[in-house]
Structures are given as C-alpha cells and as structure tokens.
Amino acid sequence: MVNGALSKFRILDLSDYIGGPFCAKLFGDYGADVIKVEPPGVGDVARTVGPFFKDDPHPEKSLLFFYLNCNKRSVTLNLESSAGRKLLLKLVKGADALIEAFPPGYLDSIGLGYESLEEVNPRLVVTSISPFGQTGPYSRYKGSHLIYEGMGGIMYTSGAYDREPLAHGHPQSYYIGGITAAYATSAALYARNRSGKGQHIDVSLAEVAAAHHTGPTNRFAYTGTIERRAPKHEPGSPKSGPHMEGIVPVKDGYVGATFQRGAATRASLSDYLKLLGADKQADPSFVTPSFQGAIPQHIDDLVLSVLKEWKKLDYFNTVAAGSWVAAMLQTSEDLVNSRQLHHRGFYADVEHPVMGKVRIPGEVYRMPACPYKLRSPAPLLGQHNTEVYCGELGYSSEEIVLLRQQGAI
C-alpha cells in the first residue's frame, strides 16, 4: 500500500472555524496524523455553523465542520486547566507541527507560548494564524472575512463603479490563508529536517488577502492611479472595453464573454460573430479583419442580444472548443453535476456515524506516487480521547475519568 506524502508527520490542530482547520486538513488528506484538539463540551466553533445536514442544527451535522475535518482524530482538552496544559505538552513532545489561531498573546498568557513549547520539543514547528499577525499596531484587533477583503483592497475593486464596494460571497480569505499556512508549515518542516530545529510561523489573514491583490497596487505604485470598480472605463484599465466583454446574461444564467484567443491575443470581430451565428446580421462595412478600437453601440447591442439566446453550457463548449477564451458562471448545482469534475474524481463519498453518506470535494491535485486518500470522516467531539490519551500517552482509564471530572478533558 502506498503511503501518503505526509504520512511521517503528526500535526496538532488547535485552531477552529476555517483557516487553521483547512491548513491541517491539507496535511491529513495526504497521510499526516492530525489530532484535532477541541474544548470540552463545545468543540470547534465550526460545529455550530451551517449549513447543517438536513437542516438539523446538531453539533455533529455541520457540513462546514465535516468538510474541514475529515482525516483527523478529535480529542477534548481544556487549556485553561493546569492538567489540560500538561496533557498538551505531552502531545507536543511527539508532534511535528502545531497549528493555532488564538488571539496573539493568549498562549503566552497561559504558559504555552512558542518559547515554552520549544523547550519541550525544539523540533516543533508552530504556525500561528491571526487577523493581522503577531506584531504591529493592529495585532490585537479582531478580524473577519469582510475585514480581510476590505483591508486587503479586494473590496474596493469589486462591484459596480456607481455602487458601494462588494465582498465576495465565499469567505475565500480563510481558505487562501489556510493554503498559505500549509505551504509555510511544509517549508518549515523541510527546513527542520535539514537543520534539526523548528520555528514559529506568523500568518496574517489580512496580509494574505493583500498579497492576492497585486495588480491594482502595482498599478498605483507605477502610475499613481487608483483602480476603480467596473464598469467605469479608463485608459489603461483592464476594465475598459465594450459592454459585451465581461459577465453578460444568457438564456439560463451568465457567461464570461471576450474577444480573446489566448492569453494576450485579440481576435477578429467577424470571426466572433460568425461563431455566434450573427455574422449576417452585422454591418459588413464595420466587420474588419481584426478587432481594433471601440465597438460601436449597435454592434455591442447586437452581440448582447445574440448571447441572450444561448445557453451557458452550449456557449462555453462552442467557444472554448474553438480556442477562444470563455467561461460560464456555474451555480452550486452546476458544480455538483459537472462532467469535468466527475471525470477527474473531484468528489468523494464518505460515511459518517451520525449523518450517513455525505459527498464532499475530495482530491484537489494529483500526486500518483503518494495519492490523496479519504481515510476517515470528520470525528465526533472527543471521539479519540481513549485512543490517544490511554493508547498513546499511557493514561489509565481511571485517570481519564479523573481528568474528565476535573474538567481537563
């Protein structure tokens, strides 16, 4: 049996909600032993966040928690108790990395800061994910996806020019933050295997969002121009162009229409109209061999009217098959039924002891020599207490009962 690429690592996941758990999930998906450490009684806050399986707001039926925590084991542990902190330090001795998303300074305040953890395990990599980082004037401020997109500049260029800025509907800053944290943790583990010493990684979700918004900031740095929201057209702006270029309506939704054929190649307007079956409706005197300059209003209107008669999948397949740049805006239903994704094995079915069979996005990238494997569903709260504390740390069943009575687990 082929081992996962990360099967030699043990990761302690002390984080909650999305960013940290997604980071830890990426390790678990490729073989790492991920132990999720949750507060007794309540667990990860994501257990209370919908959508819920069959709309039942049960702590074991959050589909968000389910997706983010497959391939992990769960133990409960109270960091506010001295016995709980001792338990964590015993787990730290055998761990390769620890992922946390507490407010900066919290772990130091309870005697579990990086220096304390380093004394117990000098090879440990600690990854801290926070809104604004561990240092700086904003380090103690709270955050959210709305704040990260606003502070990162993404919102200012999202939406219509004459309307308020818009946040993206999906909290992608958390997922990008999780990916960044996983990359950084992997790099630190590689460095650790060479040097023998761990390190403390500081990930700011606001900075991650800003780092993925480089175009407008680079434009300002070199031209002094602040990028605006669409559809305001300015010279040199990537948003300039005819109305039909962009997100436009079709019969059953929206498509991304453009005259591009390749990354930077502008194609013939006549060829595009011919592709849409509208070449006979256009003014022959205007349809030049190649696209240049502004499109007159009547041609713009013509293209938009023709596009409204197309279905999005038909448009996408026709245009993309002809080597044009094309997109269709897929709903969640479209994604679930996508032939491409099913052909790629993108979805995975997993049995959960409370919900039964659940389908989730599975393998994101392919590593044939050490592939992704869905080994276990998201754990029940504290499901692996006995397995970890008794079987691996050597506690007796009587000691576990006492720890539970003390509120340590």
Q: State yes or no: pLDDT of 237 exceeds 60.
A: no
pLDDT of residue 2: 59
Lowest mean pLDDT among 91-100, 166-175, 214-223, 230-239: 230-239
pLDDT of residue 265: 64
pLDDT of residue 285: 53
104 cis-preceded (ω within 30 degrees of 0): no
Lowest mean pLDDT among 130-134, 228-232, 336-340: 228-232
Residues contacting 409, CB < 8 A, separation 6+? 40, 75, 76, 77, 78, 84, 87, 382, 385, 389, 400, 403
When pLDDT is averaged across residues 212-231 and rounded to a whole number, the result is 79
Q: What is the pTM of this model?
A: 0.89
Among candidate residues 63, 99, 95, 96, the one with its CA nearest the CA of residue 180: 99
- Burial (CB count <10 Å: 0-12, 13-18, 19+), residue 301: middle
Q: What mean pLDDT is reported for the chain?
A: 89
70-80 pLDDT, tens digit each: 999 999 999 99
48-72 pLDDT, tens digit each: 999 999 999 999 999 999 999 999 9
pLDDT of residue 242: 52
pLDDT of residue 231: 62
356-374 pLDDT, tens digit each: 999 999 888 888 888 888 9
pLDDT of residue 229: 77
Q: What band does 158 get if pLDDT is binned at 50, 70 and 90?
A: confident
Q: Let me know: does 32 contact 373? Beta carbons within 8 Å.
A: no
Tokens of 182: 């996983």
Q: Between β-strands 347-352 and 356-361, what pairing exists: parallel, antiparallel or unpaired? A: antiparallel
Q: Look at 267 and 176; give whichever has higher pLDDT.
A: 176
292-312 pLDDT, tens digit each: 555 667 777 888 888 999 999
**pLDDT more than 70, % of the chain:** 90
pLDDT of residue 271: 81
Q: What band does 282 get if pLDDT is binned at 50, 70 and 90?
A: low
Domains located in the chain, CATH noted: 10-211+344-405 (3.40.50.10540), 246-331 (3.30.1540.10)
pLDDT of residue 85: 97
Q: What band does 127 get if pLDDT is binned at 50, 70 and 90?
A: very high
Alpha-carbon Rg for the chain, nearest whole angstrom, is 26
Q: Let me know: does 210 contact 220? Beta carbons within 8 Å.
A: no
Q: State yes or no: pLDDT of 232 exceeds 80.
A: no
Tokens of 143: 């955050």
**pLDDT more than 90, % of the chain:** 68
pLDDT of residue 234: 45
pLDDT of residue 58: 95
When pLDDT is averaged across residues 14-25 and rounded to a whole number, the result is 98
pLDDT of residue 356: 95
